[in-house]
């Protein structure tokens, strides 16, 4: 299966992260202007960073330590995004049910990334 994947775009986890980041971008358009340089920027940056780090990890598969390092960055960015989602709910910018769905999506993303970190031999190029 892994040998048939030619691009990071073909990874289910990438698609899930990209869709979640796109959803957060759309939701953040409604955040107040005073949040532009704080919550809005942070939630957009961290959610997009999950995707960017997945792309980098995919290209670093020749080196197990580098692959795991980039995946670790992905995991951290996904967890950070969950924190910003919590703040957005607390501030009343995102509805609780919408946030709960996004939070679960990031739990799934983190779970997949942790699985990739735990079993890098499945993914690395030998």
Identify the CATH number of the domain defined by range 2-122.
Answer: 1.20.1440.60
Q: Specify whether the CB–CB gap between 61 and 125 falls below 8 A.
A: yes
| pLDDT, tens only, 15-65 | 999 999 999 999 999 999 999 999 999 999 999 999 999 999 999 999 999
**Taking 80 as the threshold, does the pLDDT of residue 3 lie above it?**
no
| DSSP assignment letter at 75 | H
Cβ-based neighbours of 46, under 8 Å, separated by 6 or more: 77, 78, 80, 81, 84
Q: Where are the domains of the chain?
A: 2-122
């Amino acid at each position: 299966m892994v040998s048939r994947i030619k691009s990071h775009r073909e990874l289910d986890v990438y698609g899930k992260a990209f869709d979640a980041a796109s959803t957060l971008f759309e939701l953040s358009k409604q955040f107040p202007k005073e949040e532009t340089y704080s919550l809005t920027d942070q939630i957009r940056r961290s959610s997009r960073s999950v995707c960017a780090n997945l792309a980098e990890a995919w290209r670093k598969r020749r080196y197990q330590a580098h692959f795991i390092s980039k995946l670790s960055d992905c995991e951290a960015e996904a967890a950070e995004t969950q924190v910003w989602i919590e703040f957005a709910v607390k501030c009343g910018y995102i509805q609780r049910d919408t946030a709960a769905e996004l939070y679960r999506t990031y739990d799934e993303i983190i779970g997949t990334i942790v699985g990739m970190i735990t079993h890098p031999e499945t993914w690395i190029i030998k």
